[in-house]
Structure 1
Amino acid sequence: MKLLALDTAANLCSVAVLDVESGTMLAAVSEDIGKGHAERLMGVIEQTLRDADAELADIGRIAVSIGPGSFTGVRVGVSTARGFALALKCPVVGISTLQALAYDGARLFSGRPILSIINARRDEVYAQFFGKDGVATSEPMVTSLPLILAELSGRDYVLSGSGAALVNERVEEPFDVATVMPTGSIEAFACLGAVSAGQDEPPKPLYLRGLDVKPQQGFVMQRKVTE
């Protein structure tokens, strides 16, 4: 069975095809596009399928990043994955970016606890703690850097994600860093998707805070009432 993995939660537009039975990564394509995932994703999917010598009809399982990350990017990836799963009548699983970052961290620093941490801007970070066995020891959260620094004090964590630099800028003894990517590698999403249990409901975006943009209430037109 072949698995299609999608990640559009940050600046990358990433797609991979994994042979689940053998564990072989047949193809993986990542483009640093910043924005415009809705316009580019289908082209990257087509290219990855060609590189894997596969067709969309060969896909028997889909994995997709659900965030936290870019609101628009996450929605594009999740809606595309759900649409393909409906058309192909195959299961689709959602993988958080924090979980994928922990997977990458564990591959480089086996047997070490991992803090997945993403720069969320506005003096905040997205974060989640994972134990030495790779199991989450906290819920995904949006929090402040001082609170994270307090939790890390005296502990031997590996940092994984774009928030690692924010932490190491403020400590005397830098922590080991697995990656400074804003999400995990596309290989991480594919491998986690292959071993994840089936989900009762289709994946939904993981939003840890509200939208940055709010309606301009002063420009709302009043509705006319006709008699």
Structure 2
Amino acid sequence: MIVLALDTAGVDCAAAVYDSGGDRLLGDITETIGKGHAEHLIALIDRVLAKAGLTLDQIERIAVTVGPGSFTGIRVGVAAARGFALALGIPAVGVTTLAVIAAAHQPQAAGRPILVAMDAKRGEVYLQTFGADGLPVNEPQAMLIEDAQALVAEFDGLLAGSAVPLLRAEVGTTPIDTVANVFPIADVARLGAAMEVGDKPKPLYLRGPDAKPQLGFAVARQ
């Protein structure tokens, strides 16, 4: 199966073409842009298809990161994935960013469970635990840093994600654990290829957007 994987959930704008039959990455491009995913994504898809030597009508599945992450970026990626899936008549699946981080760190875990902790800002972290088999043990959640620190103190496994320095100072970071949350596109592709097709992908928001309309300025409907 040929999978087109997309990630716009963080500072990167990334796309990859993956052949699940041979476990081969046919082409991938990751650009760290911070913002402006909507302006970059379509051109990036064209470039990654050219790199893989394939056309869009040869894609058999779309995989996209659905969050948690950038509120606007997630919407861009999900909208693109659903649009391509509808136009091509193929399925689209949503991959959580927490699952991507867990998959990226599984070789380091050496058979231990993984607790993924992403810095959510505003004194909070996004958390989810994955078993040694890579499958989620619980649902993703947003938690205050103080509460997460107490949970981490009792966890016997590998910590991964951008919030690791906030939760356990003595634990060093890996190249994947940077100040910004990043989600390796190869892992997005592999996870997306292995998923069962279900509902259409939709954004995973564990809390509301940072930007909110001002109260008292609503215009009454006529």
For residue 105 of structure 1, what is the aligned residue in structure 2?
105
TM superposition shift of 1:168: 2.9
- Please give the TM-score of this superposition, normalised by the length of structure 1: 0.91
1:66-145 aligned at under 5 Å gives the runs: 66-145=66-145
For residue 163 of structure 2, what is the aligned residue in structure 1?
163
Q: Is the 8 A contact 1:82 1:202 kept in 2?
A: yes
| Structure 2 counterpart of 1:179, one-letter code | I
| Structure 2 counterpart of 1:40, one-letter code | H
* CA distance in 2 between partners of 1:185 and 1:137 (Å): 22
* CA distance in 1 between partners of 2:116 and 2:136 (Å): 10
TM superposition shift of 1:179: 2.6
* CA distance in 1 between partners of 2:107 and 2:191 (Å): 12
For residue 65 of structure 1, what is the aligned residue in structure 2?
65
* CA distance in 2 between partners of 1:150 and 1:14 (Å): 35
SS at match of 1:66: strand
Q: Is the 8 A contact 2:65 2:74 kept in 1?
A: yes
1:189-204 aligned at under 5 Å gives the runs: 189-199=188-198, 201-204=199-202
Q: Is the 8 A contact 2:116 2:160 kept in 1?
A: yes
- Please give the TM-score of this superposition, normalised by the length of structure 2: 0.93
* CA distance in 1 between partners of 2:172 and 2:31 (Å): 29
For residue 29 of structure 1, what is the aligned residue in structure 2?
29
* CA distance in 2 between partners of 1:97 and 1:19 (Å): 21
In the TM superposition, structure 1's runs of 4+ consecutive aligned residues that sit over 4 Å from their partners are: 175-178
For residue 46 of structure 1, what is the aligned residue in structure 2?
46
TM superposition shift of 1:176: 6.9
TM superposition shift of 1:218: 2.9
SS at match of 1:48: helix
For residue 210 of structure 1, what is the aligned residue in structure 2?
208
Q: Is the 8 A contact 1:125 1:145 kept in 2?
A: yes
* CA distance in 2 between partners of 1:5 and 1:60 (Å): 11
* CA distance in 1 between partners of 2:116 and 2:175 (Å): 10
For residue 187 of structure 2, what is the aligned residue in structure 1?
188
- What's the Cα RMSD here? 1.6
- Aligned residues: percent identity? 45
The count of corresponding residues between Structure 1 and Structure 2 is: 220
- Specify every segment of 5 or more residues in structure 1 that has no aligned partner in the other structure, as ranges: none
| Structure 2 counterpart of 1:111, one-letter code | G
* CA distance in 2 between partners of 1:107 and 1:54 (Å): 31
TM superposition shift of 1:221: 3.8
